[in-house]
Amino acid sequence: MGKEKTRFFCKNLASNQSLVVVDSDCSVSLVHQSGDPPGVNRINASLNGFDVELLPSKGFSIGQVFRDGKPVFWNPPIGICDPDTLDLFSDEIAINGTPSPGFTFLKTFCGGIEFYGLRNWGMPSVDEKTNFHHPIHGETSNIPVDHCDVEINDREIRLSASFIYREFPCKPAGTWYLKGRELFEVERRVVIGRNKPQLQIIDRIKNIRNKPLRPDWGYHITFHPSDGSQLVIPSASAENRSGNTVPGSFDRWSPATNNKMREETGIIHKGLKTKPSDFGNLGYALVIHPENTGCKISFPVSPYFQTWFCKGGAQSKEFTRVSDGKALYSRNWDGMGIEFGSSALDHNGNTDMSVPGEVPLDPGSSIEIPLVIDFADGIELQQLSEEIRKINENRVLLSSKLPELPYITSRIVEQ
């Protein structure tokens, strides 16, 4: 069985002849969710108890995924915003009472899988030559896509979209994501298997400038936690990003003792182990919930990789709106996940030196980055967990040291 592509125009529901594609056991629909800004819509794909949400207004990020009614990704602490009115380069967010340029991104942090970069994927930085203030995690996760192509066949549901990454000015006149010289084209394919519970996300970054460019890319993937959930990584070493010693049970999530105080722990892993896949040898991590359900996520081994555990923070004054002093987040930052990319998150050179860095792309050339999530239960999950446990018996625990940047150290609290 094969079908022609159906194209959804993502911003204006009325511009579509139909808002749903249906085929036997699956459907894909373009919807507006109550409470979202006008013109900000979502795409929902459903297949045999497997539900995948995509966010066209956020670089085609993965929003939530449900498997048999259970959430795979976190319940984010904030809702979605309108990219057309967003000013990523503002100082509208304060950290501990101080306006902090580069952190407006925090009011957009709501995806399950977000793609970052492409001139700066990590913490805020300043270009020494131009004095350009790069915002935390760059701009990609807030660039909207205009349309999405939907294909359904016997094997899979395939959704595809793309956007242009530009050399955005700090003070753009008009819509920010349409301003500046074109640098990269980003294409995303999301593939949902019909014959097995698997989700693939394949990103292609193409240099569309007339000179070599090095894309500085990264990802943040945040899973739904419950008391006792584990996130385990087979690695040769682990170190605490805060510079403190590695805490006990650093791969296990537990609720905050005080919801008004946010606690975050970042553990940097090096020497990641790999397994064969349809995309070659990929690194992998395992999410295990107390009821013995979970998933394996596979990804390219990159120079920087950390696990991220966060909890608490509802109504905290750590992050506030400068305009009225009110807390930015009304819900807890309850999540656990992985954060990885082509350079050091903190711009301190703390990367796995055995992993080659990204080389510049020649004009017209591209790289492809695959992510694969396989869902596992019971015996399969136990076997994978035991495999990682044996690998990690010889893992070395280290300490790292952050650069003297107060906006970083204020975010990291020992568990």
Q: What residues have CB less than 8 Å from 85, skipping those under 6 apart?
A: 37
Dihedral pair phi/psi, residue 303, rounded to 5°: -60, -35
Q: What percent of the chain has pLDDT over 70?
A: 95
Spatial CA neighbour of 58 closest among 37, 30, 36, 80: 80
Spatial CA neighbour of 159 closest among 177, 138, 145: 145
Neighbouring C-beta atoms of residue 275, cutoff 10 Å: 13
Each residue's pLDDT expressed in tens, for the chain with a length of 415 residues: 456 789 999 999 999 999 999 998 899 999 999 999 999 999 999 998 899 999 999 999 999 999 999 999 999 999 999 999 999 999 999 999 999 999 999 999 999 999 999 999 999 998 888 888 899 999 999 999 999 999 999 999 999 999 999 999 887 778 999 999 999 999 999 999 998 889 999 999 999 999 999 999 999 999 999 999 999 999 999 999 988 899 889 999 999 999 999 999 999 999 999 999 999 999 999 999 999 999 999 999 999 999 999 999 999 999 999 999 999 999 999 999 999 999 999 999 999 999 998 899 999 999 999 999 999 888 989 999 999 999 999 999 986 554 444 333 222 222 2
Are 362 and 340 in contact by the 8 Å Cβ rule? The answer is no
DSSP string covering 325-378, please? Answer: --BS-SS---EEEEEEESS-TTSS--S-TTSPPPPPBPTT-EEEEEEEEEEEEH
Q: What CA–CA distance (Å, rounded) separates 384 from 305? A: 20
- Total number of residues shown for the chain: 415
User: What pLDDT does residue 399 have?
Assistant: 67
User: What pLDDT does residue 405 have?
Assistant: 40
User: What pLDDT does residue 3 have?
Assistant: 65
User: What pLDDT does residue 120 have?
Assistant: 96
**DSSP run (H or E) holding 388:** helix 378-391
User: What pLDDT does residue 401 have?
Assistant: 56
Q: Between vectors from CA 82 to CA 369 and to CA 190, what angle results, nearest 5°?
A: 25
pTM: 0.94
User: What pLDDT does residue 106 have?
Assistant: 97
Q: What CA–CA distance (Å, rounded) separates 82 from 120? A: 22
Burial 209-248 (b: 16+ CB within 10 A, else e): eeeebebbbbbbbbbbbeeebbbbbbbbbbbbbbebebee
Spatial CA neighbour of 59 closest among 83, 35, 76, 39: 83
